[in-house]
Amino acid sequence: MNRTFKTVASSDISISELMLPSHTNFSGKIHGGYILSLLDQIAFACASKFSGNYCVTASVDTVNFLKPIEVGELVTMKASVNYVGNSSMIIGIRVEAENIQTGKIKHCNSSYFTMVAKDNDGKSMLVPGLILLNMNDVRRFFNCIKQIALKKERDLHEEEFDYNSKEALESLKKYNIKLEF
C-alpha cells in the first residue's frame, strides 16, 4: 500500500470567537477551561481535516497560558499538523486575542495536542505522511521529535525511579513539605 503525503498547509485551520461575559472565571478573565475546550475542538478539526478520519485526543502535551484574555476580545486559534507518526499527529495551536477597538493583538497561548486517527470500529488508522515545504515546517517537526524524546525519557524515569529509597526521601527535605508517615 502506498502512503499518501500532504503538506503542513493542507492541515491549516483557524477559528475566531468573541469572548463573552459568560466565558469568564471568578477574576473576570476568560476561563482557562473554556479555552481548553476550544483548543480540543480545533485540534480535532485540524487532525480530522489532515487525516480524513475521525480523530481522538490521545494527550494534551503542552498548554502554556501566556497572557490573560479579556471579555470583548476576539480570540483566534490557528492550528496545523506539526508531526505525524503512523496513526498519530501532533497539532500545534497558537492563540491570539485582539482588542477589536484598538486592533492590538497579543499571543495568549501555545498548545500541542496529540491526536489519533480512528476508523468506524475505533481502530487506529494510518495517516498521510507530512511534506515539509520550508524551514519553519522543519523547525516545528524537529521540536516535536524533541518533545517525544522528552516524554519517553520522563516515562522511563517514572518507571525506574525508586520513590521508597532513603536517598529519594532524604532529597525531599529541600522542598516545602512535611512527611508524616
pLDDT digits (tens, 9 = 90+) for 110-125: 999 999 999 999 999 9
Is there a domain that residue 147 lies in? no
Mind giving me the DSSP string for 141-165? HHHHHHHHHHHHHHHHHHHH--TTS
pLDDT at 37 over 90: yes
Number of domains in the chain: 1
Kindly provide the b/e burial profile for residues 57-81, where b requires at least 16 CB atoms within 10 angstroms of the residue's own CB: ebeebebeeeeebbeebebbbbbbb
Asked if 95 contacts 24 with a C-beta cutoff of 8 angstroms, the reply is no
Residue type, 58: A
Kindly provide the b/e burial profile for residues 120-145, where b requires at least 16 CB atoms within 10 angstroms of the residue's own CB: eeeebbebbebeeeeeebeebbeebe
Give the range of the structural domain holding residue 12, as residue numbers without chain letter: 5-132
In this structure, what CATH number is given to the domain that contains residue 89? Answer: 3.10.129.10
Question: Length of the chain in residues, anyone?
Answer: 181
pLDDT at 173 over 90: no
Is there a domain that residue 34 lies in? yes
Is there a domain that residue 141 lies in? no
Q: Return d(Cα 60, Cα 62) in angstroms, integer.
A: 6
Question: How confident is the model over 59-94, as pLDDT tens digits?
Answer: 999 999 999 999 999 999 999 999 999 999 999 999
pLDDT, residue 2, reads 66
DSSP structure class, residue 30: B
pLDDT at 58 over 70: yes
